Structure 1
Amino acid sequence: MSSLTIGKLKLDGNLVLAPMSGVTNLPSRLLCRKYGASLVYSEMTSSEAVVRQSLKSIERGFTCKDERPMGIQLMGSVPENLAESAIFLQEKFRPELIDINFGCPAQGVIKNGCGSELLKKPGLIGEIIRMLSDSLDIPLTAKIRISDNFDETLKIAEIIEKSGADAITIHGRTQKQGYSGKSDLDFIKGIKSKLTIPVIANGDIFDEKTSQNVLEYTRCDGLMIGRAAIGNPFIFKKISYFLKTGEILPSRNTEERLGDFFDYVKLCRNYDMLTFNDLKRNAQWFTKGMENVKQVRMKINKTHDIDSIMAIMNGLV
């Protein structure tokens, strides 16, 4: 498996955990690092909220030495606010890099002119990357989606490169697609062939074979794994093992998968991050695909406190 270098940051591999709102908190990132993610990203963080000194938003960057290297992803559309928040977070948490989101398709994000909505303003994207590149002491990356037109998408990627970004992640779907349809590997492959900075492919990477196919077809420098890692941090070990050896690890049994859930709970307790809503979501995610999952999920849905969830999960062992 290849290593990936982003600016002055040299990683031990090329598998990256995608930033996901409501998912990639510190405990989930630690589990993904444990199983071989080479780099993990915080949840997307609003630069406006950081500038306003929103404690909830700032604490999304909370980190520890065991998860290094890690990156903080920022969202926003005002260059000065993005730069101010990036400098503040760089000083507070010392992340290995900062990422700017130009790809989120969520309505609440695009209605404020952020995320993938910025793809309609290439000039502003260039201004944002230039200002942050000049302001930071650490590598800067960007994440984009494709547009319907290859030349338009390539133009944006080239602007990001020329403006000073150290790497770019490309999700091969359009804003309109959201997470439906298929990721367009031809767009990613075409952009990779034109850029000199590292290109990380994202979208439809959910097992060993899809990982190999995306890497070989696009010739990208790395892979970013998102939804396939939700409740399944072991996917990083499966994919890295396959890319190194060509062999598929045996499927994990229920006890092993539940072990990851209990490790997640322990980490949440250790970092005082255990909440009912988050635990309920993770109990659903970690039981996906298990036997009698429908009945288990119905029981979890009816819970109203942490102890009830833990009783159900302990009963599965």
Structure 2
Amino acid sequence: MNIGPITLPNRLFAAPMAGVTDRPFRQLCKRLGAGYAVSEMVTSRRELWNSLKTSRRANHDGEVAPISVQIAGTEPGMMAEAAAYNIDNGAQIIDINMGCPAKKVCTKWAGSALMQDEPLALQIVEAVVAAAAPRGVPVTLKMRTGWCNTERNAVAIARAAEQAGVAMVTVHGRTREQGYSGHAEYDTIAAVKAALRIPVVANGDIDSPEKARLVLDRTGADALMIGRAAQGRPWIFREIGHFLETGEHLPAPETAEAKAWLLEHLMDHYGLYGEYAGVRTARKHIGWAVRALPGGEAFRKFMNTLETCDTQVRAVTDWFDELAGHHPRLPTLEAGGDDSTEEELTTT
């Protein structure tokens, strides 16, 4: 599986999710089987590039290659500048966001709202490719099936993007109108795949090895992108990879393994965010990790009362040690959290 000149180790990708797929989470997903992970979206507004939030999103210190950064905006020139800025900061792939359904994004005509204006969408693609291609950096595009059920134009936009030089297209199998409700449909993704020569990635409702196989069969996609199902369950990538290769299921992770992965993630997380923000933003990751486990909901509520990194780490360690005494392997888990949405743009 290649994105332009870049060869990926496999075809299982971690989706961009604001407030989730920061560098520590991307690193964890890559360690546990994701061949590729896209950053939280970075705004194209220059005045916000030096903000604390954007500087954290543009932090790739020690990140396993390839480094992919998603950018969002509505003005071709600004998007080209954002591409150059992120390449200067280490991006090896630039992804254009035309998939975010969040209201605060779409009211500014960014994200999936761009699918309503095909000429503008193409101008943005052309500008970003012109900025990235001379530097040897491929450009990818993530979008939805269309704006609403009566306006599914993913095939037309994907064709134009391919002609403009995009190296890969990812399609979430919902319209903007659907948000994250209902069920993803895969016929439109299959139509995009049939229309293009470049790789096409399927996204939406992939939450198990069996569903991964079904989506590949239904769409003919070259790769799969997984979002919310990886929240609290980042080992889903290795589970799916093993199943696709062998037709067999991996056993659930050992509880001690899950503890070690979570603690490693927390240390990296605190290192990026510091004590105050790190403790507070880590709560959701811990909550996703325990919510489906016995006693997890009560522990999640207790976790929200802790105020320091040390107390969080001690509580997580003790809780998982106690769980391991009853369950050497994790009990069957449900898919990850549902209180964060893929690509929800925050710019302050």
- TM-score class, shorter-chain normalisation, is over 0.9
SS at match of 2:240: helix
| Deviation digits for residues 235-273 of structure 1 (CA, Å, limit 9, x no counterpart) | 111111111111100112433222211010122245565
Aligned to 1:250: 251
| Deviation digits for residues 171-225 of structure 1 (CA, Å, limit 9, x no counterpart) | 0011121111111111111111111111000001111111111111111010111
Instruction: Map 1:183-198 onto structure 2 (within 5 A).
Output: 183-198=184-199
In the alignment, structure 1 residue 126 sits paired with structure 2 residue 122: yes
**Larger RCO (CA within 8 A; separation ≥ 6):** 2
Q: How far, CA to CA, are the matches of 2:287 and 2:10 in structure 1?
A: 30
Matched-pair identity in %? 33
Following superposition, the deviation at residue 230 of structure 1 comes to 1.1
2:263/2:313 contact within 8 Å kept: no
SS at match of 1:146: strand
Could you say if the C-alpha distance between residues 287 and 50 of structure 1 is closer, same or farther in structure 2, counting changes exceeding 3 Å?
farther
2:270/2:279 contact within 8 Å kept: no
2:270/2:309 contact within 8 Å kept: no
Following superposition, the deviation at residue 16 of structure 1 comes to 0.9
Q: How far, CA to CA, are the matches of 1:64 and 1:53 in structure 2?
A: 17
Could you say if the C-alpha distance between residues 256 and 304 of structure 1 is closer, same or farther in structure 2, counting changes exceeding 3 Å?
same
Following superposition, the deviation at residue 298 of structure 1 comes to 2.0
User: What is the one-letter code of the residue matched to 1:314?
Assistant: T
Following superposition, the deviation at residue 46 of structure 1 comes to 0.7
Could you say if the C-alpha distance between residues 50 and 206 of structure 1 is closer, same or farther in structure 2, counting changes exceeding 3 Å?
farther
Q: How far, CA to CA, are the matches of 2:205 and 2:49 in structure 1?
A: 36
Instruction: Map 1:80-119 onto structure 2 (within 5 A).
Output: 80-93=77-90, 95-119=91-115
Report the more deviating stretch, 282-291 or 219-228.
Answer: 282-291
Q: How far, CA to CA, are the matches of 2:273 and 2:145 in structure 1?
A: 38
| Deviation digits for residues 89-117 of structure 1 (CA, Å, limit 9, x no counterpart) | 10122x22000100101111111111011
SS at match of 1:237: helix
Aligned to 1:24: 21
| Deviation digits for residues 135-181 of structure 1 (CA, Å, limit 9, x no counterpart) | 11200001001122476221122122122211100000111211111
Aligned to 1:311: 314
List runs of 5+ in structure 1 lacking aligned partners: none
Instruction: Map 1:64-79 onto structure 2 (within 5 A).
Output: 64-79=61-76
In the alignment, structure 1 residue 299 sits paired with structure 2 residue 302: yes
In the alignment, structure 1 residue 260 sits paired with structure 2 residue 235: no
Could you say if the C-alpha distance between residues 235 and 151 of structure 1 is closer, same or farther in structure 2, counting changes exceeding 3 Å?
closer
2:269/2:282 contact within 8 Å kept: no
Report the more deviating stretch, 37-46 or 273-282.
Answer: 273-282
| C-alpha RMSD over aligned residues | 1.8
Count of residues paired in the alignment: 313
2:142/2:170 contact within 8 Å kept: yes
Following superposition, the deviation at residue 131 of structure 1 comes to 0.9
In the alignment, structure 1 residue 146 sits paired with structure 2 residue 145: yes
1:105/1:115 contact within 8 Å kept: yes
Q: How far, CA to CA, are the matches of 1:16 and 1:83 in structure 2?
A: 25
Following superposition, the deviation at residue 299 of structure 1 comes to 1.2
How does the TM-score come out when normalised to structure 2? Answer: 0.85
1:241/1:249 contact within 8 Å kept: yes
User: What is the one-letter code of the residue matched to 1:174?
Assistant: T
How does the TM-score come out when normalised to structure 1? Answer: 0.93
